């Protein structure tokens, strides 16, 4: 079964760009965060609800491949899906498009599941099913 992909539309703001009107490279990681937050919301759960349940998802690794520049006022499609899920880690993959099919960046973030004491916890049951996203 194909993973659940969620698309969130986002415009490049003036403050996201440098003097040449090109998006600053670190903003792509911020856009990845927006994409995964909206992916979760589309699945019926918010980060705030996860945290209230005692689970946090810190980023342990991030990678971005820049293919084409995003520019001021571009309308972007932030696409996210869960590419890998273990009992204690999660990997989101991302694709940023300027238009359907015009990919300007790809990447991933890896997360671990931590409980209230900051120790790794195993994810099972309803949360695991939600994240499996099929």
Q: In the annotation, is 18 catalytic?
A: yes
SS3 per-residue string spanning the chain: CCCCCEEEEEECCHHHECCCCEECCCHHHHHHHHHHHHHHHHCCCCHHHHHHCCCECCEEEEEEEECCCCECCCEEEEEEEEEEECCCEEEEEEEEEEECCEEEEEEEEEEECECCCCCECCCCHHHHHHHHCC
From the candidates 18, 73, 74, 93, which is the catalytic residue?
18
Active site residues: 18
């Amino acid at each position: 079964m194909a993973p659940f992909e969620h698309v969130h539309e986002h415009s490049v703001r003036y403050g996201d760009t440098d003097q040449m009107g090109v998006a600053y490279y670190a903003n792509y990681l911020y856009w990845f965060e927006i994409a995964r937050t909206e992916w979760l919301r589309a699945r019926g759960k918010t980060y705030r609800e996860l945290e209230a349940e005692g689970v946090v998802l810190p980023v342990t690794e991030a990678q971005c491949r820049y293919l084409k520049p995003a520019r001021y006022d571009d309308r972007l499609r932030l696409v996210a899906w869960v590419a890998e899920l273990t009992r204690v880690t999660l990997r989101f993959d991302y694709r940023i498009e300027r238009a359907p099919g015009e990919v300007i960046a790809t990447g991933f973030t890896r997360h671990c599941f931590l409980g209230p004491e900051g120790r790794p916890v195993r994810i099972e049951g309803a949360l695991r099913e939600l994240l499996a996203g099929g």
